[in-house]
A and B are shown apart, each in its own frame.
Chain A
Amino acid sequence: MKLVLTQKEVINLNTVLDNGASHSDGSDLIFLGKVRDISRGKKVTHIDYDIYNEMALRELNKIADEASANHELNRIIIIHRYGRVMLGETSIMILVSSPHRDSSYQASRYIIDEIKKRVPIWKNEFYDDGSEWISDRS
C-alpha cells in the first residue's frame, strides 16, 4: 500500500496510522520532520514552503517506488506539507511498515535523504527580523 500526499493542512497522525495497517507487519516506523526554533543561529518563527506540486508528487512517487523495490515493505505513506508551517509543527511524515524492522529503518532513511535531494520543495525561513530562502546544498 502506497500513499503519497502534499497538503497545506496539519498532519493528523492518528488518521494516518490506521490507513492500510496490517497484522502482517511487525513494525511501523514513523519519521516526523518538524520546524525547529533555531536555524543558523537565528530564532525561527515559521517556515513558508514553496512547492512545484505536480513535479513534487511525481518525484515523491518515484522515491516511494524505489524504496519499495529495494526493501521489504508492505506500506509506505509520505505526506509533505506546503504553505505556512509554524514552529514545532510537523512538515513531513514518513511511515513505513514491514515484517521486520531493518527494512523499515533503511527505507525511511533512504526516503528522507532522497526527498532532500530531489523533490522540488523549498523552505523560506522566517525570523524575528526577516526571512531567508534555504538551500540544503549551499
Chain B
Amino acid sequence: MRIKIKVFASIRDICGFNEKELIVSDSIKVNDVIDLFIKGNKELSEKKDTLLTAVNEEYCNMNRTLEDGDTLAIFPPVSGG
C-alpha cells in the first residue's frame, strides 16, 4: 500500500521535507503515521496535540484508516487572511 505524505509550514521545517511516499504492508491509521515521524523528533512530538490532518484534501481525525493511494497532509493550525 502506498501513501503520499505532505507536510506544510512549520511542520515542513521540522521534518525537513515537503513530500514523502510511505509503503506499508498492513493497515495503518493517521495516528500511526504521525507516531512514525515523531519517533526521535522531540520538536514534532511537542506539537503533536496541535497538529491538523487531511486525507485527500479533506480534514480527518487521527483514527482515520488510510487506503492505498491516499494523500495524507499534516500541518499546524492555519493562519491565513
Contact = CB atoms under 8 A, between A and B. Distances in A.
Interface residues on B, range: 20 to 34
A52 B8 contact: yes
Interface string B1-32: 00000101110110000000000000000000
Contact of A121 (B12, B13, B58, B78): B78
A52 B81 contact: no
Contact of A123 (B12, B59, B73, B79): B79
Nearest to A58: B57
Interface string B41-81: 00000000010101001110000000000000101111111
Closest 7 CB pairs of A and B: A121-B80, A122-B9, A137-B77, A55-B57, A133-B10, A135-B77, A134-B79
Interface of A: 33, 49-52, 54-56, 58, 80, 91-92, 112, 115-124, 133-138
A122 B8 contact: yes
Interface of B: 6, 8-10, 12-13, 50, 52, 54, 57-59, 73, 75-81
Nearest to A91: B81
A52 B6 contact: yes
30 contacts: A49-B80, A50-B12, A51-B8, A52-B6, A52-B8, A52-B57, A52-B73, A52-B75, A54-B57, A55-B57, A58-B57, A58-B58, A91-B81, A116-B80, A118-B78, A119-B78, A122-B8, A122-B75, A123-B79, A123-B80, A133-B13, A133-B79, A134-B79, A135-B76, A135-B77, A136-B81, A137-B50, A137-B77, A138-B50, A138-B77
